[in-house]
Amino acid sequence: MTEREIEKWPKEPWPEEYKANREEVVREFKDLGIEIETAPELLERLIELKEDGHFDDASRMAKIIDKYPGLSEEEKRKLKIAALLHDLGKTGDADETKENRRLTRLIYTYNFPKGMGKEKARDVLNLMVHPDKDKVIEYLIKKNIDIDNRPMEDLWRDHVDYTNNIISKFLESKNVNKNLKKEINDEIRKIAVSHHILDGKIPAGLTASRIPVGGKRLEIIDKYQILTLVDKYQAFIDRSAFSHEKAISKLEEVVAKSSLLEEVKKEYVEVIRNLATVKELEKIAGGKARAA
């Protein structure tokens, strides 16, 4: 984004933009046999994800899931549903006001300088060129988030907890269509919130040893499409896009360096090896083949 665009972000979309985004979100779920319009609160957040560019990641992940070997059509469908929901937390926590959700969205859409992930959150946030910078910092302090000591990448991963809270609230609601609850169920929640386990982010109610295999697949696929996509999350990964082979090697390195139990690491390695067999994946994730 240009500096002028950043200062206006997140913005209210034009009616035709909103309509187009809504139609695309509804279509993605309808293709999976889900009438997401029956959950207006979820739909609104998903449209915001589309506006902010995060929903497109899920669409790329779905194409990779289609190529993943050895899965039944139902296993692929569940993974795709979880992929579409996994970044819901980037629209704010479950019970946030619309204004606080806007401030949260700003954190997840702002293009921070490269390599700032391990810096203290306040130091990174102070670099924002945005009229609402002070509001963002004040909002985080009111939430008792220790921006003076937590690394930015740690704060950034709080969206996993927010996603967990949003889906849990949906499942607990008595006003939700029962058929929809059968599709977006607790299994889907566990898969959707398991996409930063290798980074040390284990959401409430899960343990590293009880991560569903679908969650492991989702995390590896998510990381793969990030690694192979130019300029994706440059704030936290100072690199150019990886080739298929280099991305697979990097994923194996991430698993090896994680603090997970060895038997859990082996399960991740198996997922990576399955992904490695599909050579055309880099064209899906990055849009064209790239050199290492």
Q: What is residue 238's predicted lDDT score, i.e. its pLDDT?
A: 46
Q: What is the pLDDT of residues 199-255, one digit of tens each?
A: 989 887 788 778 889 999 999 999 998 888 755 554 344 456 788 899 999 999 999
Contacts of 5 (CB under 8 A, 6+ apart): none
Question: Do 22 and 146 fall within a single domain?
Answer: no
Answer yes or no: is 121 within a domain: yes
Range of 124's domain?
A: 110-155
User: Same domain, yes or no, for 46 and 124?
Assistant: no
268 and 176 housed in the same domain? yes
Residues 117 and 236 reside in one and the same domain: no
Q: Do 146 and 179 have their domain in common?
A: no
**Does residue 2 form part of some domain?**
no
Asked if residue 276 and residue 230 are part of one domain, the reply reads yes
Weakly modelled stretches of the chain, pLDDT under 50: 1-4, 6, 8, 234-238, 287-292
How many domains, the chain? 2
The answer on 25 and 74 residing in a single domain is yes
Q: What are phi and psi of 62, to 5 degrees?
A: -60, -40
Judge if 173 and 276 occupy the same domain: yes
Are 122 and 264 members of one domain? no
